[in-house]
Structure 1
Amino acid sequence: MTAKLDPFAAAPAVMKSWFAASAAIAASLEPALVELVKIRASQINQCANCLNLHTVEARAQGESEQRIYLLSAWREAPCYTPRERAALGWTEALTRLSEGHTHHEAYDALAAEFSEEEQVKLTLMINVITGWNRLAVGFDMWIEPAAAKAAA
């Protein structure tokens, strides 16, 4: 697969800002939760690039293979905390907004586990990863994890 274009070369200033904002938002929540959200949204959006990057990052942070493999069936898997379940439900609801109004149900679980400030941070994190998914899928991007880490 050859990328259609390199957004970092085509629009370096705005991509630098986007990257900085993405990193700041990701740093505002616990790293393990952020990676689970990134992986789940990337599964829904079928973004191979982001799945590759974030599964590697999750493993580097000590995430288990079992929890990574079970993310697509998180509702049936007993290995996620109530907080993680609330975050995953909110991730799915916002990532699939066009499919219906399930966000009302997901919000109740979110509000039970996250402060209002954390709700905003998580919602911004979901926006960040879906934005990266759209860049990667739209432009056929593929970045090896080691290259991404070096660029950061």
Structure 2
Amino acid sequence: MELRMNHYEANPAAYKAMLGLEQFIQNSGLDRKLYEWIKLRASQINNCSYCIDMHAKDLLSMGESAEKLLLLTAWHEVPHFTAEERAVIELTEYATKLSEAGVPKEVYDRVRQHFSEKQFIDLIMAINVINAWNRIGVSTGLYPGAVK
């Protein structure tokens, strides 16, 4: 593995813009654990090792079990996730892989059972932010331990 560039140093203004989006989500009222599930699932789909490592560790530090983290890729098959978490994870998958099927109405309806219109947009913004971070990380060759 070789880091292609340190994106923090290469373009501080771009990094600052991303931090602004991150701050928007932090101030939106979105549950922090739900946001971490979004970050971890999108990062798994996008194969961003740096973000997978970071967000798995963040969830562990928030009290989530290693078993639940290990089962995230098979969330459809296990009872470990709440209905709210399942709706958010499913939305994350569809919105991350948008070109495959869009966001089907039934997925939207499941999410709306738990979240208002404003919260739905907050979720979409959260999914957008982690997908943007993933694209930066993967494109620049970022991996766990590459930067401090």
TM-score, normalization by structure 2: 0.91
Q: Could you tell me which amino acid in structure 2 is paired with residue 2 of structure 1? A: E
Tell me the CA shift for residue 106 of structure 1. 1.1
Is 1:55 aligned to residue 56 of structure 2? yes
Aligned equivalent of 2:72: 71
> Structure 2 matches for 1:1-152, cutoff 5 A?
1-28=1-28, 29-144=30-145, 147=148
* CA distance, structure 2, for counterparts of residue 140 and residue 110 of structure 1: 34
Q: Could you tell me which amino acid in structure 1 is paired with residue 122 of structure 2? A: K
Tell me the CA shift for residue 16 of structure 1. 1.4
Identity across the alignment (%): 37
Contact kept in structure 2, 1:90 and 1:103, CA below 8 Å: no
Task: Call closer, same or farther: CA 1:143–1:48 in 2, change over 3 Å.
Answer: closer
Tell me the CA shift for residue 102 of structure 1. 4.5
Task: Call closer, same or farther: CA 1:146–1:79 in 2, change over 3 Å.
Answer: farther
* CA distance, structure 2, for counterparts of residue 146 and residue 83 of structure 1: 34
TM-score, normalization by structure 1: 0.89
SS at match of 1:80: coil
Q: Deviations over 1:30-80 (max 9, x none)?
A: 111111111111111111110001001111111111211111011111011
* CA distance, structure 2, for counterparts of residue 38 and residue 26 of structure 1: 13
Tell me the CA shift for residue 117 of structure 1. 1.1
| Greater RCO, 1 or 2 (C-alpha within 8 Å, sep 6+) | 2
Task: Call closer, same or farther: CA 1:26–1:76 in 2, change over 3 Å.
Answer: farther
* CA distance, structure 1, for counterparts of residue 146 and residue 23 of structure 2: 16
Task: Call closer, same or farther: CA 1:108–1:145 in 2, change over 3 Å.
Answer: farther
